[in-house]
């Protein structure tokens, strides 16, 4: 866990977006949904894609020689420490903080688009939200997936509305078995196969949780 001094330095620091003179910043997102596919140059999950290359596949003007010319153009103050890498899709950055607030931020302006307050669990490692989110188009709906405390959330990317959530204490035996059998396999999927896995998991989750009266909307 970060020391008190380091934690204080991290509080509120989501991202300082930087640009080179004359290099355009990605355009702000229009109304989302899933009108167009997630772009090749987006960063929809930790590591850029399921193969984890940790590299931008598109041309960039940023090099070791031009890095010195980068300038901060905005700064966003979160309510607590941010340790996750922001996920960026269609001009919007998605990231959560240790207090359980999850944010959607316009990467061009740094303006807040929406915030979702996750349930605060009493005993967690470091903070409520410590890891990166993933964005995918599931059944025609652009969805943001992230973990907070003991809960997995699926939010509508357009407005941050909860699609579903599942907490460790309320998982059914069938859901636990599915995750146990398929989670490791999903780590090695990419592209359409990974999206298909998300859709299958979402369908099964909804069916099982609805039968048990545990589905939260």
pLDDT digits (tens, 9 = 90+) for 51-77: 889 988 899 888 899 999 999 999 999
| pLDDT average, residue stretch 175-191 | 56
Q: In this predicted structure, what is the pLDDT of residue 96?
A: 96
Q: For residue 188, list its beta bridge partners.
A: none
Question: Interhelix angle for 191-211 vs 173-186, to 10°?
Answer: 170
DSSP string of 149-210, one letter each residue: TTEEEEEETTT--EEEEEEGGG--HHHHHHHHHHHHHHTT--HHHHHHHHHHHHHHHHHHHH
Q: For residue 145, list its beta bridge partners.
A: 134, 154
Which of the four pLDDT bands, split at 50, 70 and 90, describes residue 210? low
Q: Are 162 and 118 in contact (CB under 8 A)?
A: no
Tokens 């003007």 locate to 61
Domains, the chain, in order of start with CATH, read 4-211 (2.40.128.630)
Higher local confidence (pLDDT), 114 or 190? 114
Threshold 0.75, pTM exceeds = no
> What's the pLDDT tens digit per position in 17-48?
443 333 334 444 444 455 689 999 999 999 99
Q: What is the largest CA-CA distance in the chain?
A: 59
Check pLDDT > 90 for residue 82. yes
Which of the four pLDDT bands, split at 50, 70 and 90, describes residue 87? very high
Which of the four pLDDT bands, split at 50, 70 and 90, describes residue 10? very low
Which of the four pLDDT bands, split at 50, 70 and 90, describes residue 182? low
Q: Are 19 and 25 in contact (CB under 8 A)?
A: yes
Cα-based angle 188, 194, 198 (whole degrees, multiple of 5): 125
């Amino acid at each position: 866990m970060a020391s008190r001094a380091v934690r204080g330095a991290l509080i509120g620091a989501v991202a300082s977006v930087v640009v080179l003179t004359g290099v355009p910043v990605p355009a702000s997102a229009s109304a989302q949904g899933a009108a167009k596919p997630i772009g090749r140059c987006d960063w929809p999950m930790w590591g850029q894609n399921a193969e984890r290359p940790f590299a931008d596949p598109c041309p960039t003007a940023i090099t070791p020689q031009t890095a010195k010319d980068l300038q901060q153009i905005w700064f966003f103050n979160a309510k607590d420490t941010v340790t996750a890498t922001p996920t960026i899709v269609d001009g919007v950055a998605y990231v959560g903080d240790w207090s359980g607030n999850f944010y959607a931020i316009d990467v061009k302006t740094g303006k807040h688009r929406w915030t979702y307050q996750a349930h605060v669990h009493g005993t967690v490692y470091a903070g409520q939200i410590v890891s990166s989110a993933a964005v995918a188009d599931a059944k025609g709906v652009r969805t943001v997936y992230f973990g907070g405390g003991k809960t997995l959330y699926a939010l509508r990317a357009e407005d941050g509305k909860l699609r579903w959530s599942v907490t460790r204490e309320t998982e059914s035996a069938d859901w636990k078995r599915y995750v146990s059998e398929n989670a490791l396999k999903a780590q090695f999927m990419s592209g359409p196969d990974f999206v298909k896995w998300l859709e299958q998991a979402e369908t099964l989750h909804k069916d099982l949780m609805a039968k048990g009266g545990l589905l939260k909307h």
